[in-house]
Structure 1
Amino acid sequence: PKVAILREQGVNSHVEMAYAFHKAGFEAHDVHMTDLQSGRAKLANFQGLVACGGFSYGDTLGAGIGWARSITFNPALAEQFKGFFDRADTFGLGVCNGCQMFAELADIIPGAQDWPRFTTNQSERFEARLSMVEVLESPSLFLQGMAGSRLPIAVAHGEGYANFKHRGNPAQALGAMRFVDNHGQATEAYPFNPNGSAGGLTAVTTADGRFTAMMPHPERVFRNVQMSWTSGDINATSPWLRVWQNARKWVG
C-alpha cells in the first residue's frame, strides 16, 4: 500500500518514518508540500498520510500552524486534504510538528473536533530526551494490542502542551498515550512529563481510529539499539515497530 511521507521545509524526521513504514510492508513515497501544490503528487493516489516531525517554517508562525495554514488558505489543497480524510479506506498519523499540524486541521478530520491545540511547553524550553509513556486503550489503529505498555520514547519539542483553552474538549478528546513517572503513574511533573500536559496526555485519536496525532517520536526508537536500556537483542526491532505493523494489518 502507498503511504505519503509528507514534509514541509524544516521537517527532519521523514527518512526514519519512511524506513519504519518500509519495514512494515508499505511503499513509502517522499511527498513535499510543493509536490501537492504543483500537482506533481495527489493524495488520491495514497492510502496513508503521515505528517512528520521537525520545525516547519522554523516554528516562527507557531508550531505546525504555518504548515496547516498553507493547506487551509489554499482552497484546492484544503479540498484535497478533506477528500483524503473523508475516504473510508485512508489513515493518517501526525508526529511532533506533524501532530501540531494535524491538530490545526482538526475541523476537516472526521472525529477530531475535540482535539486540543499544542502550545508552548510549561517549562518554556525545548525538551529533547527519552521519556516514558503508557499506551492507553483507544480506537487508534496504530496502537491496537499495545494498551498498558510502558515504553521509552524519544521526545523533541518546544510546543507540546495540550492546550484546550484555544480549542477542543478535554472531556471528549480520545487520549491514546500519556507520560508516566518512574512509578508508572500518569504525571504532569517535570521532567517525567516534558511539556506539562494535564494527565500526561501526549497523543489523541479519532473514534474510528483512522487518524492519530502524537507528540513523541516512535520512528526514532523502533530499534532496540535506540532505547535507553533493553534486555533484548540490540540488533532487533523494538516494540514500537508494532505501530506500523498494526497499520499494515488494518489495511489488509
Structure 2
Amino acid sequence: MASNPASLLAELAPDLDPAAVAQLRVLVPTGYGLNCEAETAAAFELLGARVEQLHVAELLADPNRLRGCAILAFIGGFSFGDHVASGRVLANRLRFQLGDALARHVADGGLAIGMCNGFQVMVKLGLLPGPLVSADPADRLAPQRASVVGNDRHGYRDAWVRMRCDPASACVWTRGLDLIESPSRHGEGKLVFADNEIRAQLEAEHRFPVRYVDAAGEPTEAWPANPSGSAGGVAGLCDRSGRVFGLMPHPEAFLYAENHPRWVARDDAAATQARHGLGLRVFANGLRAALVSPD
C-alpha cells in the first residue's frame, strides 16, 4: 500500500487533487451494534478524506451535524442486534428523527453508501431505491418500496464473492469497474420489492449496479456464488442519481491486496501488480463524484 494519500491517489486515481480530497468530509454513524467503522473510515482516510465517526445518538440529537458532509457512510454490523429484522429498528429511528435531514442531504447532491447492515438500513429507510417517479417530493424520503429478507439457504454465511458491475448504470461508485471481489457475511441479504412493476422499472433504469457472478463471470442465483438467492444475482442497488448506493458485500474489507484469501496464489496480472485491494476503487469513485457538482 502506498505510504501516504497523495502517493496512493497518484497510483489509484491520478485525476484527483489530494488538496481537494482533503477538504471532503465523510460522516460515519456508529454505535447500537454497528461494528465496521474502522475499516470504513480507513477506506476514505487512506485516500486522504476527512472522516468523522459519530454515534447515531449524537446525530439524532443534532441533525445539523449532517450539514457540510460530502458523503454519508452506513456501515455494517448488527444494529440493535437485528432482533426485529436486519436494520429495521435503526431505519425507523433514522426515518422519524433524521428523515428531513437525510432527504435534504441527497437533494443537495450529497452522496451515500451502505454496506451489509448499512444497505439493509438504507432500503428499509427508503433511501434506496429512492424516488421512482417525478411526483415523489425531493424534500422528503421516499416510502419503503423494497426490503432485504432472509437468504434462501437459512443461516449466516461468511465467504468471498465476485460481483460484476453494470457499465450502463448511473452508479458513480462503480463507474469504470468490471469485477469486484469482497467478503460477504450475512444471513438476511435477499433483495425483494413491493411488486414486479418496481423491479421491472429498476431493471430498465439499470439501478442494479452489481450482481453476483459464477466462475464464468455470469450473473447467478445459485448458492454459494450468490449467498442470498437474490433474483437475477442482484447484490446492490442505487438511486436514480447514481450517488446513493448500497450493497450486501463488504468492499471496505478489501483495501489491501493482502486482504484477499488467495493474494499469494492469484495469477492475474492486475492482482499481482496492484498494491491495493479492489474495494478501495469503489471509495475512490465516491470521492471523485463528491468533487463534481451534480447535474
TM-score, L = length of structure 2: 0.78
Query: Which blocks of at least 5 consecutive residues in structure 1 are unaligned?
Result: none
The yes-or-no answer on 1:14 pairing with 2:34 is no
Query: Which blocks of at least 5 consecutive residues in structure 2 are unaligned?
Result: 1-23, 133-141
Match of 1:223 among 224, 246, 256: 256
Distance in 2, Cα, partners of 1:165 & 1:66 = 20
Distance in 2, Cα, partners of 1:170 & 1:248 = 29
Q: CA RMSD in A?
A: 2.2
Identity fraction in percent = 26
Residue 84 of structure 2 corresponds to which residue in structure 1?
61
Q: Residue 117 of structure 2 aligns to which amino acid in structure 1? A: N
Cα distance, 1:163–1:175 mapped onto 2, change above 3 Å: same
TM-score, L = length of structure 1: 0.90
Contact 2:43 2:280 in 1 (8 A): yes
Match of 2:104 among 83, 92, 98: 83
Q: Residue 246 of structure 1 aligns to which amino acid in structure 2? A: N
- What is the deviation of 1:64? 0.7
Distance in 2, Cα, partners of 1:101 & 1:94 = 8
- What is the deviation of 1:107? 5.9
After superposing the two structures, state which structure 1 stretch, 79-88 or 173-182, moved more: 79-88
Residue 99 of structure 1 corresponds to which residue in structure 2?
119
Cα distance, 1:49–1:107 mapped onto 2, change above 3 Å: closer
Distance in 2, Cα, partners of 1:195 & 1:28 = 31
Distance in 1, Cα, partners of 2:129 & 2:56 = 18
After superposing the two structures, state which structure 1 stretch, 199-208 or 228-237, moved more: 228-237
Contact 1:134 1:178 in 2 (8 A): yes
Matched position secondary structure for 1:73: helix
Contact 2:44 2:51 in 1 (8 A): yes
Distance in 2, Cα, partners of 1:161 & 1:129 = 16
The yes-or-no answer on 1:213 pairing with 2:284 is no
After superposing the two structures, state which structure 1 stretch, 154-163 or 40-49, moved more: 40-49
Cα distance, 1:80–1:20 mapped onto 2, change above 3 Å: same
Contact 1:223 1:237 in 2 (8 A): yes
1:177-220 per-position Cα deviation (integer Å, ceiling 9, x unaligned):
01111111111111111000001101111221110011100000
Q: Between Structure 1 and Structure 2, whose CA radius of gyration is higher?
A: 2
After superposing the two structures, state which structure 1 stretch, 209-218 or 101-110, moved more: 101-110
Match of 1:130 among 160, 172, 179: 160
Residue 139 of structure 1 corresponds to which residue in structure 2?
170
